[in-house]
Amino acid sequence: MSNSFFVRTTTLGVVQEAYWSDPISLAIPYKTTLAELFDEDNRRTFEKTFTSALLEKHKVFCSHVVIVEERLELCFFILSLDQDVWVLAVDYLMELPPDLQERQKHLLFKMIEQVAAMHSRFSLHNSQVVYSHFEQIQKLNNQLVNTQRELQRANKKLEALNLDLNNRLVKDPLTGLVSRYQYRSEMQRVINANPQAIGLFAFIDIDAFKHVNDTYGHAVGDEYLVAFAKRLASLTSEGRLIAMRIAGDEFGLYMHELASVDDEIFSSLYRKFEVYVTERPLSTSIGELAISCSVGFAVYNRDTTNLFELIEYADWAMYQAKRGGKHGYRVFDKLLYDQRYSEQ
């Protein structure tokens, strides 16, 4: 608990005794008045709860109020007995799951009641009663510690689940490339780092992958995709590179911060793709299988600055490559694209 205190005050809220205060300056005996901890609006909220506790003694009241220091929201527990008021403030309850919040509140209620009873004028004259209350407080403290340990274990499990979920979203489980769920976000992240730079998106479709699946089965098909993805990930470029799996047999490459783009660049990049990825057969459990791809290129900051359009344009160019006989590439042509859709 980085900001918390447990104090006994007068009915005017002046601190008489501090069982603990973190930081110490938060609640100083005979100096701090609780109302001073709040701005005007939050003071009214706190005073309403404090007054309710004064009017209805022997009952713990709870309220969430923001203190001036660090604009931090604390959970206040207030109990009034005779002329004394016990106030516990903690900053961690809001972080707990609802079921743990209720359990913690119940334990804190009991702890405050036991401390208050132990310090009442009647009880202080009865050592047996004091000892009994002390035992109860120890038990409650042990329960609080156990609840905190449960919370720590639950948080560790939650962190592990979140990490696993994040990995599943970011990485394709089969190939290890950026997944279909995350590739747009990853592309946008790279673009945002230098939005004025030139980027190149390559939409890649494996030719006749259905034949591999139908002929050799899905297990071999998966081996084929994994081997292809490893080669795709090994590509390098003069700028940043993201390799991704868009769908079953559809992949993508995004390169950012290219110095320029022209026909020579497209030809050079496709040639590099052939050398690193498609020139040699892929190894599978049933032997080596040939690989052929159709590729469509679209340019960020030339064809469009809209990410969704960039992907659509490269996809359209890829289908032009397929119509042209497969195992080749096409560069997006805005005139042909507009002409095709104006004729429909």
Kindly state whether residues 74 and 216 are assigned to the same domain.
no
pLDDT at 341 over 70: no
Kindly state whether residues 191 and 336 are assigned to the same domain.
yes
Residue 174 is assigned to a structural domain of this protein: no
Residue 62 is assigned to a structural domain of this protein: yes
Distance set, CA 290 to CA 137, 175, 207, 216, 227 (Å) = 75, 19, 10, 13, 12
Q: Residue 109 has which token pair?
A: 């209620």
Kindly state whether residues 200 and 163 are assigned to the same domain.
no
What is the greatest pairwise CA distance in the chain?
99
Mean pLDDT of 25-48: 90
The pair phi, psi for residue 82, each rounded to 5°, is: 55, -120
- Cβ atoms of 146 and 154 within 8 Å: the answer is no
Residue 176 is assigned to a structural domain of this protein: no
Query: Per DSSP, what are the bridge partners of residue 256?
Result: 199, 240
Among 169, 198, 225, give the residue marking a domain's end: 169
Element (H, E) at 48: helix 40-55
Among 62, 94, 126, give the residue marking a domain's end: 94
Kindly state whether residues 291 and 208 are assigned to the same domain.
yes
Please state, in angstroms and rounded to a whole number, the distance separating the CA atoms of residues 109 and 211: 69
The pLDDT of residue 67 is 86
Who's near 199: CB < 8 A, 6+ residues apart? 190, 191, 239, 254, 255, 256, 257, 258, 299, 300, 301, 310
Among 146, 169, 192, give the residue marking a domain's end: 169
The pLDDT of residue 138 is 64
Please state, in angstroms and rounded to a whole number, the distance separating the CA atoms of residues 170 and 164: 10
Kindly state whether residues 198 and 71 are assigned to the same domain.
no
Residue 175 is assigned to a structural domain of this protein: no
Kindly state whether residues 150 and 253 are assigned to the same domain.
no
pLDDT at 194 over 60: yes
Residues 284-337: tens digit of each pLDDT: 999 999 999 999 999 999 999 999 999 999 999 999 999 988 899 999 999 999
Mean pLDDT of 61-66: 86
pLDDT at 94 over 60: yes
Residue 7 is assigned to a structural domain of this protein: yes
Kindly state whether residues 20 and 76 are assigned to the same domain.
yes
Burial letters 29-61, b for 16+ CB under 10 A, else e: eeebebeebbeeebbeebeebbeebeeeeeebb
Total structural domains within the chain: 3
- Cβ atoms of 15 and 32 within 8 Å: the answer is yes
Mean pLDDT of 27-33: 87
| Domain ranges, residue 52 | 1-94
Count the neighbouring beta carbons within 10 Å of the beta carbon of residue 188: 12
Q: Residue 160 has which token pair?
A: 């592990």
CATH assignment of the domain containing 202? 3.30.70.270
Kindly state whether residues 193 and 333 are assigned to the same domain.
yes
Residue 177 is assigned to a structural domain of this protein: no
The pLDDT of residue 161 is 59
The pair phi, psi for residue 26, each rounded to 5°, is: -70, -35
Residue 178 is assigned to a structural domain of this protein: no
CATH assignment of the domain containing 39? 3.30.450.20
Kindly state whether residues 57 and 140 are assigned to the same domain.
no
- Cβ atoms of 251 and 204 within 8 Å: the answer is yes
